[in-house]
């Protein structure tokens, strides 16, 4: 099989979704599965739906088009405010979009009218993270604007935290959202279908608070795909943290000095990596680089150390592992590494049905025995 490739275990994704859906349904919250880190994969979207997600969401219109082509029964949500240049396409592939701008609402109304459709709107409220959001004092006016458009339907209000400035969801900021929902419903004599509290960063709050308020939906991507809490990148108990792995092929193996020599300046990506120590290292080069994956979040197997990366080469110290040209190394991935790998045209995407296995302790694969030789060994991340 070709490398580099990213392998996705659909069973683990489905199981992660089911566990989170069950935990959140106990407190009255449903889950919209977010596929943006998986490039809008229809297979991954289907796994989320099998796991109980009530709908799917993505930030990119082409990704929603892929999802629309494979599933027409669940609600599809564009989770980034539509670009004016794409409103006609948005209306065609998304049932709902998240919005803040009146000029975009005007354009969506015209596009929906032209297609003889009604488009759903969730107005996003600024709750402190300073990314998208309408100021709380301006929400009522925005609601009035949506209600004045015949081809738009106000679905609900929403918020987003932690993505831009790391603001933690808590009873205070979620309480602001609840209070706004109550005010809007009374003032405008309407009932909202969705109160979208936020993303995977809301899980800790949602499962611990006694003040869930009106929040009835979370938009979950990272928690489902990687099994971690985005606030601290810690594993969520009971979830698989290894649903994805990135496989790269070795193209050079050599014993080299531990430190470079000669005058040094900038490397291809800024400051060169620190190379310390004395003597030699057992160095290997893999055919993968910044064009393919984000170095931050790339998790090598136990006993292998990443020394540096350029556009097309990943250099590692393979330590006591036996290694030869043509061997493969299997890396774990964090969120940034997953997003970059899934969007690289040079990384093959492989989806596997997987098998029913209980989640292991996070990142607990055993270190390979260097005495065991295989024709094309795959070294697994720990």
Radius of gyration of the chain (CA): 23
Task: Please write the tens of the pLDDT for every residue from 199-224.
Answer: 999 999 999 999 999 999 999 999 99
The pLDDT of residue 365 is 34
Q: How far apart are CA 314 and CA 340, in angstroms?
A: 15
CB distance 195 to 232 below 8 Å:
no
Same domain, 213 and 283: no
Same domain, 257 and 193: no
Task: Please write the tens of the pLDDT for every residue from 27-51.
Answer: 999 999 999 999 999 999 999 999 9
The pLDDT of residue 372 is 35
Final residue in a domain of this structure, among 230, 259, 288: 230
Segment holding 228, helix H or strand E: strand 228-229
**Structural domain boundaries, residue 366:** 244-379
Assigned domain for 238 exists = no
Q: Which residues contact 237 (CB under 8 A, 6 or more apart)?
A: none
Q: What is the CATH number of the domain that holds 322?
A: 2.40.37
Q: How far apart are CA 376 and CA 236, in angstroms?
A: 33
Assigned domain for 1 exists = no
Tell me whether the omega of the peptide bond preceding residue 72 falls within 30 degrees of 0, making it cis: no
Same domain, 278 and 219: no
Which stretches of 94-142 are assigned E, i.e. beta strand?
A: 96-99, 119-125
Could you give the number of structural domains in the chain? 2
Task: Please write the tens of the pLDDT for every residue from 355-365.
Answer: 666 665 544 33
- Can you read off the two tokens belonging to residue 161? 């935290």
Q: Which residue has the higher pLDDT, 13 or 363?
A: 13
| 240-259 burial code (b ≥16 CB/10 A, e <16) | bbbbbbbbbbbbebeeeeee
- Taking CA atoms, 85 is separated from 90, 104, 111, in Å, by 10, 10, 11
Q: Provide the pLDDT confidence category of residue 382 given band limits of 50, 70 and 90.
A: low
Partners of 195 in the β-ladder: 157
Nearest to 41 by CA among 20, 62, 55: 62
Same domain, 73 and 142: yes
Cα angle 238, 241, 242 (rounded to 5 degrees) comes to: 130
- Can you read off the two tokens belonging to residue 98? 């998240």
Task: Please write the tens of the pLDDT for every residue from 59-78.
Answer: 999 999 999 877 767 899 99
The pLDDT of residue 376 is 52
Same domain, 191 and 134: yes
The pLDDT of residue 360 is 54
Let me know how long the chain is: 382
The pLDDT of residue 66 is 95
The pLDDT of residue 274 is 85
Same domain, 263 and 198: no
Assigned domain for 3 exists = no
Report CA dihedral (89, 92, 97, 101) to the nearest 10 degrees: 50
How many CB atoms are closer than 10 A to CB 308? 16
Same domain, 202 and 295: no
Same domain, 14 and 36: yes
Nearest to 43 by CA among 14, 77, 5: 14
Same domain, 43 and 167: yes
Q: How far apart are CA 14 and CA 351, in angstroms?
A: 12
CA 332 to chain centre: 15
Final residue in a domain of this structure, among 230, 255, 277: 230
Assigned domain for 135 exists = yes
Assigned domain for 235 exists = no
CB distance 8 to 44 below 8 Å:
yes
Assigned domain for 237 exists = no
Same domain, 210 and 308: no
Cα angle 17, 22, 24 (rounded to 5 degrees) comes to: 95
Assigned domain for 298 exists = yes
Same domain, 216 and 301: no
Pairing of strands 244-257, 280-286: antiparallel
Same domain, 128 and 277: no
Assigned domain for 323 exists = yes
CB distance 215 to 222 below 8 Å:
no
Q: What is the CATH number of the domain that holds 20?
A: 3.20.20.10
Tell me whether the omega of the peptide bond preceding residue 4 falls within 30 degrees of 0, making it cis: yes
Backbone angles phi, psi at 94, to 5 degrees: -120, 140
Q: How much is the average pLDDT of 162-176?
A: 98
Does 93 have pLDDT greater than 70? yes
């Amino acid at each position: 099989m070709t490398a580099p490739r990213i392998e996705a275990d659909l069973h683990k994704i489905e199981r992660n979704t089911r566990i989170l859906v069950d935990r959140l349904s106990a407190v009255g919250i449903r889950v919209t599965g977010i596929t943006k880190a998986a490039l809008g994969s229809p297979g991954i979207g289907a796994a989320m739906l099998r796991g109980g997600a009530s709908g799917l969401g993505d930030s990119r219109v082409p990704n929603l088009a892929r999802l629309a082509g494979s599933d027409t029964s669940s609600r599809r949500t564009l989770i980034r405010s539509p670009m004016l240049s794409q409103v006609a396409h948005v209306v065609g592939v998304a049932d709902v979009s998240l919005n803040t701008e009146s000029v975009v609402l005007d354009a969506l109304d015209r596009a929906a009218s032209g297609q003889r459709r009604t488009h759903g709107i969730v107005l996003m409220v600024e709750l402190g993270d300073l990314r998208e959001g309408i100021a709380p004092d301006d929400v009522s006016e925005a609601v009035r604007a949506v209600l004045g458009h015949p081809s738009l339907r106000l679905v609900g209000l929403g918020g987003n935290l932690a993505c831009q400035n790391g603001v933690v969801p808590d009873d205070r900021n979620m309480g602001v959202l609840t209070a706004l929902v109550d005010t809007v419903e009374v003032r405008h004599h309407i009932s909202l279908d969705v109160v979208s509290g936020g993303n995977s960063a809301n899980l800790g709050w949602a499962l611990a608070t006694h003040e869930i308020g009106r929040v009835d939906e979370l938009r979950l991507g990272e928690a489902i795909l990687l099994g971690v809490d985005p606030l601290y990148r810690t594993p969520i108990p009971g979830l698989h943290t290894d649903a994805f792995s990135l496989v790269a092929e070795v193209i050079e193996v050599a014993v080299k000095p531990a430190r470079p020599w000669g005058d040094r300046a900038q490397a291809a990506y800024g400051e060169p990596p620190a190379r310390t120590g004395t003597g030699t290292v057992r160095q290997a080069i893999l055919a993968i680089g910044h064009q393919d994956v984000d170095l931050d979040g790339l998790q090598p197997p136990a006993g292998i150390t990443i020394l540096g990366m350029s556009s097309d080469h990943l250099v590692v110290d393979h330590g006591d592992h036996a290694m030869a040209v043509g061997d493969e190394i299997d890396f774990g991935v964090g969120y940034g590494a997953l997003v970059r790998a899934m969007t690289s045209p040079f990384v093959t995407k492989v989806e596997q049905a997987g098998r029913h296995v209980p989640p292991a302790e996070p990142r607990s694969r055993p270190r390979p025995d260097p005495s065991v030789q295989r024709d094309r060994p795959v070294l697994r991340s720990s």
